Amino acid sequence: MSGLVRAEWIRFRKRQSIQIIVLAVPLLAAFMFLAGASSTGPEPPPFDAAAVRADLIAQGFGLGLPPDELGTALDDAVEAQRFPVEQMREQYLLRRSTFAFPQSMVTLLGSGTLVLFALLLLVATSLGDEFGWGTIRTTLLASSLRGRLLLLRLGAVSAISIGLLATLAVLGLVLPVVLTALGTRHPDVPSLNLAGLGVLVLGTLEAGFVIVAFGAMATLLVRSGSLTLVVLLVYVAVEAAILTVLIRFDAFKEQDGLAWVLDAFPVRGISRLVDTAGRVASGLPRFPGEPVPTDLSVAMVPLVALLVWGAAFLAIAYRRFTRMDIVE
């Protein structure tokens, strides 16, 4: 087994396309994080009632009103402006909170779509090129342990995915410091919901497992890495079409009915799982005034369904690889 691991290491360590994919993920994630943080603009000043009052008076507000009525009218007018300004400020602070530590870790882990796409590329290229180059034949001539070779390859890709997620977590630690060094003031943020963070990490890993298994299955079925990407696009469109049809039925709209079935589909399940767990983990509401979400039960259906999907895809890939004729 150690020989197969060493062989895999030789394959991967000098492979430029893999190096590029592995480097691109943290770089892109960091760029998107910093660009997102800078796009929030300057911090709106706190609501200044005296300044608003003076501004209103300067604009001729309540001209001609008796002094006792003018005071009340000005108070009402000032208060009327307080709510939108304070809400805008709260919204701003909420947005900025996602870039402050430790919420920054959730934000970066939430950009796991990038990791998932990278994983699909890794599987598609590392397996697909074996067919394109014909090296699948050379490899299987050297060892006929097909099942072991496949699992090792998928294990290598999974190890890379864990490495990428760890890198994103480290970036979540480092980038807020970079922002502070650049003069950004972070708002006070609540502590993370550890249960939510756990589900987020678990869900992202599980999503990675599904993507790796799907990529392997598709690549082995079509014997091409590039076609695998087409297969994924087709699959996403088909799933969207099925969901669009299902959602027209009342039974699939009711939470007590069959709504959970929709979350059992892979793409929607991944999205639902990461979104729910991410919001719970961050301890932040989506908008000011919304209660902080703590309910992780919605994530349970995707968690279980994704495990089943991943196992099914992997089983098909395994069976296909161990039985397929190598004509390359």
Partner 1 sequence: MIEPGAVISTSALTKRFKDVDAVAGVDLRVPAGGVYGFLGPNGSGKTTTIRMLVGLMRPSRGVAALFGEPVQAGSAVLDRVGALVERPAFYPYLSAIDNLRLLGFTRGMTESRLRAAVPEALDRVGLTEASKRKAGRYSTGMRQRLGIAAALLGRPELVILDEPANGLDPSGVVEVRQLIQGLARDGITVFLSSHVLPEVEQLCQRVAVLQKGRVIAEGETQAMLQKGERLQVRFDSADEAHRAVPILASIGATTPAESDAALYLDAPADRGSEVSRTLAGAGLYPAELSLHRQTLEAVFIELTGDHVPPAASGAAPAAPAGPTGAEP
| Contacts to partner 1 by CB under 8 A | 3-4, 6-7, 10-11, 14-16, 133-135, 137-147, 149, 322-323, 325-328
Q: Which is nearer to partner 1, 222 or 326 (CB)?
A: 326
Cβ at position 162, least distance to partner 1 in Å: 23
Cβ at position 325, least distance to partner 1 in Å: 4
191: amino acid identity, one letter? S
Question: What are the residue ranges of helices labelled H in the chain?
Answer: 2-13, 16-38, 49-58, 67-97, 103-110, 112-133, 135-142, 146-181, 194-222, 225-246, 259-263, 266-282, 300-323
Residue matched to tokens 């480097």: 23
236: amino acid identity, one letter? V
Cβ at position 305, least distance to partner 1 in Å: 32
Q: Which is nearer to partner 1, 140 or 262 (CB)?
A: 140
Q: Which is nearer to partner 1, 71 or 147 (CB)?
A: 147
Cβ at position 118, least distance to partner 1 in Å: 19
Residue 225 neighbours by CB under 8 Å, 6+ apart? 124, 125, 127, 128, 129, 131, 132, 219
CB 232, CB 218: distance < 8 Å: yes
Q: Which is nearer to partner 1, 87 or 138 (CB)?
A: 138
Q: How far apart are CA 24 and CA 264, in angstroms?
A: 31
Phi-psi region of 283 (alpha: psi -120 to 50; beta: other; left: phi over 0): left
Cβ at position 131, least distance to partner 1 in Å: 10
Q: Which is nearer to partner 1, 225 or 310 (CB)?
A: 225
Tokens of 185: 């003031």
Q: Which is nearer to partner 1, 53 or 137 (CB)?
A: 137
Q: How far apart are CA 12 and CA 206, in angstroms?
A: 23
Cβ at position 129, least distance to partner 1 in Å: 9
